[in-house]
Amino acid sequence: MKKHLLSIVLLTMAATSGFSQIYKSFLPSPQFTKALESIVLDFRLDYKNIQGNIADSLGQVETYESTIKLPGTIDCRILRFHSAVDTTACWQAIVYSGESYNEAVRSYENTVRLVKKSNMRWIDNTQMKFTGELVAPRENIRFTTSTLLLTLDDPRYLDFRAEIELISTEYDRWEVQLNLSKKTDVSGKLH
């Protein structure tokens, strides 16, 4: 009897542990959510608190290191634009860079899912999150973007978005980027 009871307890623990691991893999880690929240909150300060050393200055764009990195990303940076039309800043993470289209698609879809499932807190402790739909990539199209909008009632964040991009950077090379910024149109007006 004890042998059967022990077997049942062990099977139940293994099944629960396995389900828990599978379930956890579909949710962002607390570290991912906290880092994303910190980046989003610092947007209202033009990313000044998370800006590191200058990495590059090319034309009308300066690139700075980001002091906050999203777990699992290759590189995180802040882009500052200095043209007559666009003076905004964009926080950017390189999530994947490589030759495998299938790996790039997996990374792209996973990034969209993680950003959407990150339940963050605003400065007054109310909940905020990104909403939107995944745009399914097709291999014959070399560029795909899913746009997620932030659910927050603050005028500074009107049209603030997360854009997850799957890009063919060169022949047989793929990159997945996460961009957090306000969108401007070609006339330079925020919308």
**Could you read off the pLDDT of 96-112 as tens digits, one per residue?**
999 999 999 999 999 99
Determine the pLDDT at residue 77.
97
The better pLDDT of the pair 10, 123 is held by 123
Mean pLDDT, residues 166-182 taken together: 92
Q: Percentage of residues in the chain with pLDDT exceeding 90?
A: 66
Question: Measuring CA to CA, how many Å separate 132 from each of 51, 119, 135, 154?
Answer: 28, 14, 9, 18
| Residues 107, 112, 114, 117, Cα dihedral to 10° | -160
Phi, psi of 98 (to 5 degrees): 180, -170
Phi, psi of 64 (to 5 degrees): -120, 150
Whether the predicted pLDDT of 58 surpasses 90 = no
C-alpha–C-alpha distance, residues 167 and 58, integer Å: 21
Q: Which two tokens stand for residue 81?
A: 């634009």
CB 47 within 8 A of CB 67: no
Mean pLDDT, residues 119-144 taken together: 93
At residue 25 the predicted structure's pLDDT band, cuts being 50, 70 and 90, is low
C-alpha–C-alpha distance, residues 80 and 124, integer Å: 28
Whether the predicted pLDDT of 113 surpasses 70 = yes
Phi, psi of 104 (to 5 degrees): -65, -45
Whether the predicted pLDDT of 7 surpasses 60 = no
**Could you read off the pLDDT of 37-56 as tens digits, one per residue?**
999 999 999 999 999 999 98
Mean pLDDT, residues 120-126 taken together: 94
> Considering only CA atoms, which of 49, 191, 43, 46 is closest in space to residue 120?
43
**Could you read off the pLDDT of 59-90 as tens digits, one per residue?**
888 999 999 999 999 999 999 988 766 667 99
User: How is the chain split into domains, by residue range?
Assistant: 29-182
